[in-house]
Amino acid sequence: MKRLLVLGVGNLLLTDEGAGVHAVQDLSREEEWNPDEVDFLDGATFTQDIFYVFQEYERVLVLDCVKGGREPGTIYRFTEDNLRENGEQRLSLHDIDLLDSLRMAELLGHKPQTLIVIGIEPLTISDWSMELSEPVKAKYPKYLEAARREIRALLA
């Protein structure tokens, strides 16, 4: 069993909706990471089918866009408990599938011990473009750094 899965989710064709996928692609190219300890996966707009992958990891870090109602480019950090407490409002387009996938992995015998989501507030998720919007692009290096810090902490 590997220690960490870094899962980027979103749709690259819908501007800021693809921020998590862009991030996982960029991070996977960095030489800092030991491939025996961490895997990077482009989950695209994953469905509940991803639960089988979760069973192989102790920890999961999800990179996604998150609609928290703040300024575009705002960076968020959530735990599994934060997502469960947010029952009345979905933070991302994917957190419901994410929680369902964790439940299914648990039913099959192994749920990751830790789930963390690092999100970035989008400006738009409905415009057709493979480029991030200007405010998200400006904060994107800080988003990557937040993800790097979390990866290092989860591997420590």
Residue ranges per structural domain of the chain: 2-16+28-155
> Based on the number of CB atoms within 10 Å of its own CB, is 15 exposed (0-12), middle (13-18) or buried (19 or more)?
buried
More confidently predicted of 77 and 43: 77
pLDDT tier at 54, thresholds 50, 70, 90: confident
**Rounded mean pLDDT of 78-105?**
66
Of the CATH numbers 3.30.300.30, 3.40.50.1450, 3.30.70.20, 3.30.420.40, which one belongs to the domain with range 2-16+28-155?
Answer: 3.40.50.1450
More confidently predicted of 130 and 14: 130
**Rounded mean pLDDT of 12-29?**
94
Query: Which residue bears the tokens 């408990």?
Result: 81
Exposure pattern of 51-80 as b/e (b: 16+ CB <10 Å)? bebbeebebbbbbbbbbbeeebbbbbebeb
pTM of the prediction?
0.86
